[in-house]
Chain A
């Protein structure tokens, strides 16, 4: 998170100034000297988002174990229950039903994506409310040279790192189960991260717009995340569902991410056009969410 070249230079100049001014320092005979405000501003303009990400990661580190257990333990439990338990029944049906692979290989990329989306549903809701309202943690950095969009971006960077880390660990477990036969399997880590952002950033924009907590986030979990989780071709192919509910999959970042993940982990055969649509859908939704979030942050903090 630090930028070695500039930080090193600043440290050097700080100690240089210190030795020069030690004799005339008016403050308690100490030799410390902060770099001038112009330097602070220039550095913040350049690296501000990373400075804030550093703070978010520091806070995350404080409850690292529960993050780990939640984000890795849960999908691993699913993987075991479904991929080993349920699979003994499911795998007796025709192999072609699940794209020509074992059931565990079929659901592994789906669970990877779903885990990232569920993490997004917590990381981009309650902490945002905390930042603006409960403990108002955004307003500390807001008084510093950081800008509102840098604070938003910093949080997103930190959560993106969390997506990456949890997906890497989870993918390693999947690989141990032998459920990622393709050499491109690792790409599903990036897909899951992208899916997390694609779902999370519009949600972050929504969370930023909420002034009063009336249980909206619990509603999001129950009425958006859960249906998306169940009807996104997670546990069975989307086309086994009636057309009436199939649209849920089409607008779902989980479905687009899952299908893309399957292409990566076991070379799931689909039209290349569809693959491109998955990528564009996920990128587009994430970008849309970022633009909205940025605008909301600037508006809400500038009041």
Chain B
């Protein structure tokens, strides 16, 4: 990691920390509301680490504490071995941050947004000008360099925000819901860019309520609900531990879905009844479907698919990720 090369002033530190981020019993309360309720995790350098959970699970609050902009109520937190509350500027100098809500400077041109942001890190114009051009290319915004920000589409703004977060060449990138509100094509472009950063060894910390995003980008993740960690592991391991290999989805129409349960008893390992569909967890979806037909049941639609993190979340909390 050449970019993390330490200057002589860092000699007082015994060694580079094995974990770039460690949180122990991290807690944040707002009045009576406990947004984050004693969560603990560690992230080694270069890992792509996700916080998966529904809206209001405490993901963004956790990200703000890691980002050194929100004071924790209790617990310990270190980023690159530093406490963000004592060494705010030092911690934030290590990070690139993509907030949930874009906060670009709409009155400045696209390229100027990057230059201005780089100045906050004390970076000289001799570095910033070519760097801004490089990042615009990376974000596929070169031909928009001189446009005003409010002329950009949602996906372009998001890419510009990511470009902006990279201006200081951070080794840790915090991404809060990076693709929420984007169309599928824009999401895929973004994933591709994030994947390239991951290949360059940048530690990615991202929150999402999209299971596909978590599966695509995360080496390891924690499933968060109501401020607590429900499970931790790689996407594959979580699916293995908390779900079956395949899922059979059946729709009988909204009125029958609830009452059909008894008639499906015994098929597959586990049954989950949702308002709009019934899920049968099984190792062999096709066989389960045959069994359903054999019992004379005629679903309106049926689908055999592989288990996903959505199923893990459903199993852990009894609720869907996206309401």
Q: Which A residues are closer than 8 A to B by beta carbons?
A: 6-8, 10-11, 14-15, 21, 24-28, 30, 32-45, 47-48, 51-52, 54-55, 58-59, 62, 135-137, 139-147, 301-303
Indicate if the CB atoms of B127 and A32 lie closer than 8 Å: yes
A44 x B124 contact (CB < 8 A): no
Task: Type the 1/0 row for B268-306, where 1 means its CB is closer than 8 Å to any CB of A.
Answer: 000000000000000000000000000000000000000
User: A190 → chain B, closest Cβ, in Å?
Assistant: 28
CB pair A143 B95 closer than 8 Å? yes
Flag if B2 contacts A32 (CB, 8 Å). Answer: no
Complex formed: what's the CA distance from A32 to B126 in Å? 10
Shortest beta-carbon distance, B118 to chain A, in Å? Answer: 8
B170 nearest CB neighbor, chain A only: A37
Contacting pair A140 B103 (CB below 8 A): yes
Of the candidates A14, A26, A44, A135, which one forms a contact with B106 in the assembled complex, judged by CB atoms under 8 Å apart?
Answer: A135
Q: DSSP class of A's interface residues: helix, strand, loop or mixed?
A: helix
CA distance A136 to B70 in the complex (A): 16
Is B70 a contact of A38 with CB atoms below 8 Å? no
Q: Which of B7, B105, B134 contacts A140 (CB 8 A)?
A: B105
Q: With contacts A21-B2, A32-B134 known, is A140 near B117, CB below 8 A?
A: yes
The interface size of chain B toward A, counting residues with CB under 8 Å, comes to 53
A36 touches B105 (CB 8 A): no
Per-residue CB contact flags for chain B residues 80-122 toward chain A (1 = under 8 Å, else 0) read: 1000000111101111010101011111100010001101111
Besides A21-B2, A40-B93, A144-B121, 19 new A-B residue pairs in contact (Cβ under 8 A), listed by A number? A11-B126, A14-B127, A26-B200, A32-B134, A34-B121, A34-B123, A34-B169, A37-B93, A38-B9, A38-B90, A41-B93, A47-B122, A51-B120, A51-B122, A55-B105, A135-B103, A136-B103, A141-B117, A145-B92
Task: Give me the 5 closest cross-chain CB pairs, A-B, nearest first.
Answer: A43-B122, A144-B120, A37-B93, A40-B93, A143-B97
Given A11-B126, A51-B119, A55-B116, residue A139 in contact with residue B99 (CB < 8 A)? yes
Q: Are A145 and B106 interface neighbours, CB within 8 A?
A: no
Specify which chain A residues have a CB less than 8 angstroms from the CB of B314 in the assembled complex.
none
7 A-B residue pairs with Cβ-Cβ distance under 8 Å, sorted by A, are A15-B126, A27-B200, A34-B123, A43-B121, A43-B122, A59-B105, A136-B103
Indicate whether A38 sits within 8 Å of B69 (C-beta atoms), given known contacts A32-B134, A52-B120, A143-B99. Answer: no
Contact partners of A37 in chain B: CB under 8 A: 80, 90, 93-94, 168, 170
A10 touches B124 (CB 8 A): yes
List of B residues within 8 angstroms of A48 by Cβ: 89, 120
